[in-house]
Amino acid sequence: AQSVTQLGSHVSVSEGALVLLRCNYSSSVPPYLFWYVQYPNQGLQLLLKYTSAATLVKGINGFEAEFKKSETSFHLTKPSAHMSDAAEYFCAVSDRGSSNTGKLIFGQGTTLQVKP
């Protein structure tokens, strides 16, 4: 079964520092890949998605992610962290194929803390 692994349940960076949140998927066929962000007491908001176009995907709020098939990875980065980036980040996948219902499989989530 498809699975998603996010390395590091908590990541702490200083304001202005690079943000790197890791995500690896398990399937041999590259799925659709997503990053969602959850701010306190809010729902999940899409940051970016990879479907099958460019392997470097740019999203909202200055985030981007690179799909690397050889590493089965889809790590999320931001060059310079801002205090407002503090939130929970979820990597998710959706299988390709005609029978796919759009179900998302989520990773465990990574809490990003940004220190002043």
Partner 1 sequence: EPEVTQTPSHQVTQMGQEVILRCVPISNHLYFYWYRQILGQKVEFLVSFYNNEISEKSEIFDDQFSVERPDGSNFTLKIRSTKLEDSAMYFCASSLGQPNTEAFFGQGTRLTVV
Among 24, 51, 72, 77, binds partner 1 (CB under 8 A): 51
User: β-pairing, 4-5 with 56-58?
Assistant: unpaired
Q: Which amino acid type is present at position 64? A: E
What number of chain residues touch partner 1 (CB under 8 A)? Answer: 27
Stretch that binds partner 1, among 17-25, 60-68, 69-77, 88-96 (CB under 8 A): 88-96
**Residue 40 per-residue DSSP state:** T
E strands present in 15-50: 19-21, 24-25, 32-38, 44-50
Q: Which is nearer to partner 1, 15 or 38 (CB)?
A: 38
Among 7, 17, 86, 104, binds partner 1 (CB under 8 A): 104
Q: What's the rounded Cα separation, in Å, for the pair 41 and 86? A: 13
Query: Would you tell me which residues interact with partner 1 (CB under 8 A)?
Result: 32, 34, 36, 41-46, 49, 51-52, 90, 92, 94-96, 100-109
